[in-house]
Amino acid sequence: MEFFPKIPTIKYEGKKSKNPLSFKQYDADKVIAGKTMREHLKFSMAWWHTMIADGTDMFGVGTMDKKFGAVSDMDVSKNRISAAFELMQKLGIGYFCFHDKDLAPEGDDLASFHKNLDIVVPLVKAEMDKTGIKCLWGTANLFSNPRYMHGAGTSCDANIFAYAAAQIKKAIDITVYFGGDGYVFWGGREGYDTLLNTDMGLELDNLARLLTLSRDYGRRNGFKGCFYIEPKPKEPTKHQYDFDASTVLAFLRKYNLMSDFKLNIEANHATLSQHTFQHELVVARINDALGSIDANQGDPNLGWDTDQFPTNVYDTTLAMLEVLKAGGFTTGGLNFDAKCRRPSMTHEDLFLSFIAGMDSFAFGLKAADAIMKDGRICDFTKNRYSSYESGIGKKIVSGDTTLEELYDYALNLGEYNVKESGRQEYLEDIFNQVMLSAD
């Protein structure tokens, strides 16, 4: 059965096309810097937003049909699978990401939830085998159910910690069964609303205990991919422990988890933490921890996680510049953790949203490659630090100096001041010039 009969397979038609159901920028087989655009971008569909989110918000019920003609919860889950693979095939999306709870109804307790998963998960795998579509990463939803009101790994109730562990065990099993390359921990409700009732030290130690147990279980049971933490500063709690990339890196170092964990950087989470998307990607990259990306964008005038499809090509260019500088994705990819706006309620809107996001990142890739090839910005930055390549600078970098030597050196400089301009506007102009002529 076809769920989107009016939608054809989406093809690349080039930038002059006015056909909304075509790619204007994303030419999957085009080779850029030695790899096809498909290989560079590794687009992924987020099961929760695409197959489930129906526009429900705090002020109103859903506006979109995400039941795909089925009535019982199990049938809805099954129809979503066929619809998901039809959508991914028509868009040429090679990967998907999922929470355990996205795939099957929760039932009355954990045992019935896992029984439901055992029925549905092989159906997903059969579609994967048939289509060649892969799993980018899996995760467990440890935030929706009321039992996680105080957190999961950071709950005050040890029974809830055990419950979270059980869900993670099953979600890792499913990820391994799918051959997934990643397993994500987004700290759903791992944070606090008030410090008056919170033992922050114990909560952070427990969070690390849960991650360590999960890492050890995964490694013992065939998970060879990468574990990721997805930073976010707030929402749903007032203060999320995985605040931003730097905070998460400090946590991973403190608890000796750096060798198994990298970061899954989400654009809208970056802006919620008062950083740019580029900033978070740079922090991840320079720490060899750029694992994967949740591609979306926020609204600069709103203070919450709007999870919009990415259309700002300036930001996608800056993001792809960081991905290229990091040497490209290995286990990770670009997961559209994005949902249609509530009034964009038709199935066609779903396709149009993905097309907009994929074209924006495809353009970003071409523009980033052009900026790398143009070389002026990278060269300028490199030359800006040339004083560290010889003389006293070289000694500072190699660790061959002392504070006493630097004292004498500085006194001998006499009246010295820097001679170099930062030339920000010149660089921004080059950026625009190269970006706007990218093809």
Q: DSSP secondary-structure letter at 309?
A: P
Catalytic status, residue 99: yes
The count of C-alpha atoms lying within 13 angstroms of the C-alpha of 105, restricted to the half-sphere facing its C-beta, is: 13
Query: Is residue 230 a contact point for ligand XUL (CB under 6 A)?
Result: yes
Q: Which does 139 bind (CB under 5 to 8 A by kind): Co ion, ligand XUL, none?
A: ligand XUL
Q: Which does 305 bind (CB under 5 to 8 A by kind): ligand XUL, Co ion, none?
A: ligand XUL
Binding residue for ligand XUL, selected from 102, 173, 260, 266, defined by CB under 6 A = 266
For residue 382 the two structure tokens come to 């490199």
Binding residue for Co ion, selected from 86, 244, 266, 369, defined by CB under 5 A = 266
Q: Which is nearer to ligand XUL, 183 or 186 (CB)?
A: 186
Minimum Å gap between C-beta 294 and Co ion is 4
Query: Is residue 273 a contact point for ligand XUL (CB under 6 A)?
Result: no
Minimum Å gap between C-beta 138 and ligand XUL is 10
Interatomic CA distance for residues 362 and 28, integer angstroms: 9
**Catalytic residue chosen out of the listed positions 102, 181, 242, 315:** 102
Query: Is residue 244 a contact point for Co ion (CB under 5 A)?
Result: no
For residue 407 the two structure tokens come to 């004292």
Interatomic CA distance for residues 188 and 143, integer angstroms: 5
What residues contact 308, with CB distance under 8 A and at least 6 apart? 268, 296, 297, 298, 299, 338, 339, 341
**Catalytic residue chosen out of the listed positions 99, 114, 275, 347:** 99
Interatomic CA distance for residues 277 and 104, integer angstroms: 33
Number of residues in contact with ligand XUL, rule: CB under 6 A?
Answer: 10
Helix (H) or strand (E) segment spanning residue 263: strand 261-266
Region near Co ion per CB under 5 A, out of 108-116, 216-224, 258-266, 360-368: 258-266
Q: What is the secondary structure of 75-124 as a DSSP string?
A: HHHHHHHHHHHHHHHHHT--EEEEEHHHHS---SSHHHHHHHHHHHHHHH
What residues contact 316, with CB distance under 8 A and at least 6 apart? 310, 360, 361, 363, 364
Query: Is residue 337 a contact point for ligand XUL (CB under 6 A)?
Result: yes
Q: Which is nearer to ligand XUL, 7 or 184 (CB)?
A: 184
Site for Co ion in 276-335 (CB under 5 A): 294
Q: By beta-carbon distance, which residue lies closest to ligand XUL? A: 186
Q: Is 199 within 8 Å of 155 (Cβ atoms)? A: no
Just list the catalytic residues. 99, 102
Task: Give the footprint of ligand XUL on this chain (CB under 6 A).
Answer: 99, 139, 184, 186, 230, 232, 266, 294, 305, 337
